[in-house]
Structure 1
Amino acid sequence: MPSFGRRRATALAVAFAVLAALALRFVALGDRIFHWDEARVGYWVLQYAATGEWAYRAIVHGPFLFHVNEWLFGVFGTSDAVARAPVAVVGALLPATAWLFRAHLDDVEVAALAALFALNPVLVYYSRFMRSDVLVAAFSVAALGLAVRALDTRRGGYLVAAGAMLGLAFTTKENALVYVAMFVGASALLLDEQLFTARKRDESWERVLHENLQRAGSGLLAWRRAIAGGALAFLVVVVVFYAPRPEFYAALTNPTQLPGVVAAGTAGAWTEFWSTWGVSGSASRQHSYVAFLADALRTLGAASLMLVAAAVVGFLAERYVADEPRDLVLFAGYWAVASVVVYPAITDISGHWSVVHAVVPLAVPAAVGVRVVVDRGRSASRSDDRVGVALAALVLLAAAGQMGAVTAETSYLMQQDEDNALVQYGQPGSDMRATIERIDRIAPGNDGTDVLYYGSHFHVTGEYDASDPDSVEGTNWFNRLPLPWYTERADAVTDSTTRLTEPAVAGNETVSVETTDAPVVVTEAKHYQEVRERLGSEYEGWTYELTARNTIIVVFVDTGAPGFADSE
């Protein structure tokens, strides 16, 4: 049993990890230009804020960011930093979940787990990214920790809180289901280990299985109220987030509409989820599993090598050296391996963000690995082995230094570079901030079209509604990302064309580059010369990489347009 002083020191270490995580996640949070995935979700959040209408669409994942950011935009305004703030806050609080496992990890391991959650380069980078991967991971770990704490303390309130946290996980991203499956699978492996080793304890596997089933049945009965409370908390959170708007608010004043709203937020949401992400859903998974797995392993090696090495040491030490291997450490190890193996099969894009779901469970055995090194150092100190102490200190410093260097490189120094191991293809390779700020200043004072896209790469034919994800699916509208987020934020009017010159047929009012009054024209770099020749001399062009590689664009801006020059 740890002394009060040691336990207090551990609590302070966890608190310090949270503070460090907050600093790492909020410093220069708005510097990186939006990734295309951030931009599409951000664009539709702006549409929701403007219309008050929202319905769950599985292709853009859960409602958490929509509702939270819609409120934040109303309070703090729209910016890249504000949009990313919810993920940054939740990611920074992830280290606090280490405290929930203090009955199963020693003080060094709890502090190490908090530090790994705070400092890991993958978790830092994607906590500064408006995606739901860190959100679903953090809420799922919190739900697991609260459930474990309920069993440790025999307090049902923890289980109710776990239900609410799991509900929040389900509001962020659909792979919350995968987390539940991982928890069940890891638990099954722990049970299998008990059955397999029963004969070593002079027991039959049948008796062990019977005892476990009996214990589970008794537990369900004894915890029935807490389980019901947790289920209710889960349901309330899910309905509140998934219920369509404004129907949900109308139901609050007219209870007769409540059954329909509840049905839409539960069965309706499930139908939408399954039609998109189910076995025969519309989301494509026609990809090479080996290629996606190789990408994940490369990302782990480049950004989390020390974590993986520590996790291997910790898991092996726990499984083969410890007198009584702890279920939590083995559970996390099984969960981590399964995540590495499973996610390449179920993701539709080879995004480095999927590695988040392996890094989080790997952190538990990695914390044990850190403790193994600390124990070696302590043992060497007691025996006056200066070389052993120095080696242990060197290993710990090297691990911390490697994490710090990779974090600095990936999240601050090279956050948009193609050579960054965590940059996905949809991340613009250039800093377009100066031109975006010009659009922000020009659009409010301009009448008519503010931004004209030229070329087949950007032009969208036929009728479409950019506020509806289903309407623009499969169109060239996505090729414009992340610009739609910035133009919508500036309330800029946009149009597109494939015509350079004025139509020869009388009465044809099709817009062209030659006749446009738009102060901003966007095109691919290959069209630079032909567009340059048809725009007035007052237009000046800037070249940018719209993706990490191979998508070079030119943005022409009318230097005489009101607002072009910074008034400051």
Structure 2
Amino acid sequence: MSREGDAAPGGSERTPVSLAGLSFRRDRVLGVVVALAFAGLLVRLVGLGARPFHWDEARVGYWTLRYLDTGAYQYRPIAGGPLLPLVGRTLFALVGVSEWVARLPIAVLGAALPLVALLFRDRLDDAETVLFAALLAFQPLVLYYSRFLRGDVPLALFGFAFVGFALRAWDRDSRRDAYAATVTLALAASASGFAAGYLCCWLAAWVLVVEQRSVAADGGASARAAVAALRARLAGTTTAAARAALLFVGTTVFLFAPRAGPGVDVGLYDPTEFHLAIYEGTVGALWRFVGVRVVNRYPDGTHSLLPYLGDAAGALTAVALPVVAVGVGTTLWVRYASARRPLVEGVGYWGLLAVVLFPTIAEVSASWTLVHVVVPLSLPAAVGFAALLRRGVAAASGPDVDTGTVVAVALVVLAVVAQVGAVTAGSVYGPSDRDNRLAQFAQPSDDLEPIEAAARAAADGDSSTAEVLYVGAAYHVTPDRTTRFPPVSDAWGNRLPLPWYVEAAGADATSTANVSTFGSAYANASEPPVVIAAPTHRTELAERLGSDYEATTYRLGLWNREVVVFTAPERR
């Protein structure tokens, strides 16, 4: 795994390589990549709060608000990793509550993805590094989910950073990089439970790189030599390994340990329960994850594999075809090339394995799983694009211009730019409707800000009076259940994403199973300022509330998910 072994085809890492005829000085690559990251941040911040919250975003946002209100938090695998609630609570406390603020950490972490390319400069030439950073900054699917309150992009960032730091620790015999690798691994685990899939991909990719080609070439001698080299490298590093392990455990405990409050008995900051917090933040968190995502996943967590793979293939073709096609092609090219490039080959295997693994372990068919495919394939894609551009520049700058090659390369570049631009304009910044290939079913089609505005106008700070009333059996939470801390009933889930908007408005909510019990559900049998119900109750509620209320229908999903909201004139 030497630096020379990862030299670019047709070039060497020790020789400056040009990108489309422009030579990058080694000390300027850093500036170019930082500029790409800054540009990536700008495009992520544009209209960041314009799209209404997806149900998953609303779930994370609601429990973050509850954490802000009560100070109580406990890792629940079904609600995602602890990283977003911890960061979100701090931002809400400092800046205020809004969709823009809630998504800001994801945008910042997504914009930091191009900086990860710098960790691989020992194994990529300058052109490949810059192109890799550019793909991570502007690839439409990654850009879309860098503006979405889920842990997929943070996981991709910290997962790739772990690989980068681990390789640098190996190549440079650097303890500092080894320590950074342990911290980023803990951060990756805290971002999303999909981190378990990353471990599987990494292990399988390592086996394919080290073992398979070795067996084919020399009967396994190279594999045995690689294992012996690893054992020799680790020998005598007990102190460094202990420090790295301590960093990993400490970071993990801080991220996963519960914070005491209503519904949570053990807290990280209680000295008398610190030992319990350490257990809950490590072994307890692991068993929670296994219990929810593995043991109790079946049979309800199963799904047909081929439809999910078909959805993934269709989405990748529509929104990420250049990266996937060139990334896969470059991986196969490097696999059978005479000059070995273990990094390019291994990361390519990682991306190819992810195409099958993540749609398999996902519980719903959604394009966010493809973030974990596109990000790793961006590295071999960057290598392929760099080779293509070098070929075009060489054809244009020689004594005899190869017009056919120049035109072919120009057409490929034009097609890639056009596809990226079209997907970005139509899907990343386009409307949230059924024609948007990146929007998942649980993405509301209508702007829901008027509901929050009505609830905010009705909120009076009096906790004894609920300003929002849900009507209907599907939305009714029985008196023996609560929505103030988890676990909550399925009826609460049926309300998504509205609980976020009601909570963000500072309003209180109650519910009734049907219109006939309307009065008993609301204090003093008076009329609630905001009433939310299924469309089937529209006529009954219109008669019950009278003409003073205005009814508006909102689409809470891309199809078959509508609610009617009644608001009093003086509350709107």
- The reply on whether 1:405 has 2:422 as its aligned counterpart is yes
Which amino acid in structure 2 is aligned with residue 274 of structure 1?
V
Matched, 1:263 2:279: yes
Q: 1:551 to 1:12 in 2, by over 3 A?
A: same
Distance 1:217 1:253, change over 3 A: same
Shifted more, 309-318 versus 88-97: the winner is 309-318
Amino acid at match of 2:255: F
SS in 2 for 1:115: helix
For 1:298-355, what per-residue CA distance to the aligned partner results, in whole angstroms no more than 9, with x for missing partners?
Answer: 11111111211221332233223x4313001110111111111111221111122111
Kept in 2, the 8 Å contact 1:64–1:171? The answer is yes
Cα deviation per residue 1:425-474 (whole Å; 9 max; x = unaligned)?
Answer: 111111122332232222237872211111223222352121333232xx
Q: CA deviation at 1:516?
A: 4.4
Give yes or no for contact 2:58–2:498 (8 Å, CA) kept in 1. Answer: yes
* Residues 540 and 558 in structure 1, CA contact (< 8 A), matched pair in contact too: yes
In structure 2, give the amino acid aligned to 1:126: Y
Alignment of 1:161-176 (within 5 A): 161-176=180-195
Cα distance in 2 between the residues matched to 1:513 and 1:299:
49
Q: Give CA-to-partner distance per residue, 1:213-251, whole Å, 9 cap, x none.
A: 211110111444433332221111100111111399976
How far residue 152 of structure 1 moved from its aligned partner, in angstroms, is 2.3
Partner of 1:506: none
State the alpha-carbon separation in 1 of the partners of residues 197 and 93 from structure 2. 33
Is the 8 Å Cα contact of residues 147 and 158 (structure 1) preserved in structure 2? yes
Amino acid at match of 1:219: R
Q: Aligned partners of 1:223, 1:468: CA distance in 2, in Å?
A: 45
Residue 114 of structure 2 contacts residue 134 of structure 2 at CA under 8 Å; is this kept in 1? yes
The answer as to 2:443 corresponding to 1:424 is no
Give the 3-state SS of the residue equivalent to 1:391 in structure 2: helix
SS at match of 2:475: coil
Specify the alignment match of 1:147 in structure 2.
166
Separation of aligned partners in 2, 1:151 and 1:484: 48
1:391 to 397, 404, 408: 408
Q: 2:530 aligns with which of 520, 533, 544?
A: 520
Q: Deviation digits for residues 526-564 of structure 1, max 9, x if unmatched?
A: 322222122121111111101111112211110123xx2
Q: What secondary structure does 1:105 align onto?
A: coil
Find the counterpart in structure 1 of residue 458 from structure 2. 442
Partner secondary structure for residue 553 of structure 1: strand
Residue of structure 2 in register with 1:451 after alignment: 468
Partner of 1:53: 72
Cα offset for 1:502?
A: 6.1
C-alpha deviation, 1:2, in angstroms: 3.6
Q: Is residue 540 of structure 1 aligned with residue 556 of structure 2?
A: no
Q: Separation in 2 of the partners of 1:198 and 1:388?
A: 35
For the 8 Å contact 2:331–2:349, the answer to whether it is kept is no
> Aligned equivalents of 1:261 and 1:313: distance in 2?
48
With over 3 angstroms needed to count, the CA separation of the structure-2 counterparts of 1:250 and 1:395, relative to structure 1, is: closer
Counterpart selection for 1:277 from 268, 293, 307: 293
2:257 corresponds to which of 243, 247, 250: 243
Q: Secondary structure at the match of 1:401?
A: helix
SS in 2 for 1:245: coil
Deviates more, 1:156-165 or 1:451-460: 451-460
Amino acid at match of 1:305: L
Instruction: Name which of structure 1's ranges 523-532 and 443-452 shifts more when overlaid on structure 2.
Output: 443-452
Task: Identify the match of residue 137 of structure 2 among 110, 118, 121.
Answer: 118
1:233 corresponds, among 235, 244, 247, to 247
Structure 2: where are the runs of 5+ without partners?
1-13, 17-22
- Which residue is 1:490 aligned to? 505
Q: Which residue of 2 aligns with 1:91?
A: 110
Report which stretch shifted further, 116-125 or 280-289: 280-289
Rate the CA distance shift 1:5–1:308 in 2: closer, same or farther, 3 A. closer
Q: Distance in 2 between matches of 1:326 and 1:476?
A: 53
CA distance change for structure 1 residues 209 and 493 in 2, over 3 Å: closer, same or farther? closer
Corresponding residue for residue 287 of structure 1: 303
Rounded Cα–Cα distance in structure 2 between residues aligned with 1:34 and 1:283: 30
Q: Is the 8 A contact 1:443 1:492 kept in 2?
A: yes
Q: SS state of the match for residue 471, structure 1?
A: coil
* Secondary structure of the structure 2 residue equivalent to 1:510: helix
Which residue does the alignment assign to 1:467? 484
Alpha-carbon distance in structure 2 between the residues aligned to 1:404 and 1:162: 35
Alignment pair present for 1:217 and 2:217: no
Paired with 1:333 and 1:496, the residues of 2 have a C-alpha distance of 52
Give the 3-state SS of the residue equivalent to 2:235 in structure 1. Answer: helix
Structure 1 position 514, deviation (Å):
12
2:340 to 325, 340, 343: 325
Question: Distance in 1 between the 2:294 and 2:481 partners?
Answer: 27
- 2:540 is matched with 530
Alpha-carbon distance between aligned partners in 2 of 1:134 and 1:282, rounded to the nearest angstrom: 27
2: distance between equivalents of 1:387 and 1:48?
62
Q: 1:230 to 1:454 in 2, by over 3 A?
A: same
Counterpart Cα distance in 2 of 1:25 and 1:486 = 23
| 2:128 match: secondary structure | helix
Question: Does 1:62 find its partner at 2:81?
Answer: yes
Q: What one-letter code is carried by the residue in structure 2 that aligns with 1:228?
A: A
Distance apart, 1:46 and its partner CA: 0.9
TM-score (norm 2): 0.91
CA RMSD of aligned residues (A): 2.3
Whether 1:127 and 2:141 are equivalent positions in the alignment is: no
The residue type equivalent to 1:263 in the other structure is: Y
TM superposition shift of 1:393? 2.4
Runs of 5+ consecutive residues of structure 1 not aligned to the other structure: 504-508
Is the aligned partner of 1:372 residue 2:387? yes
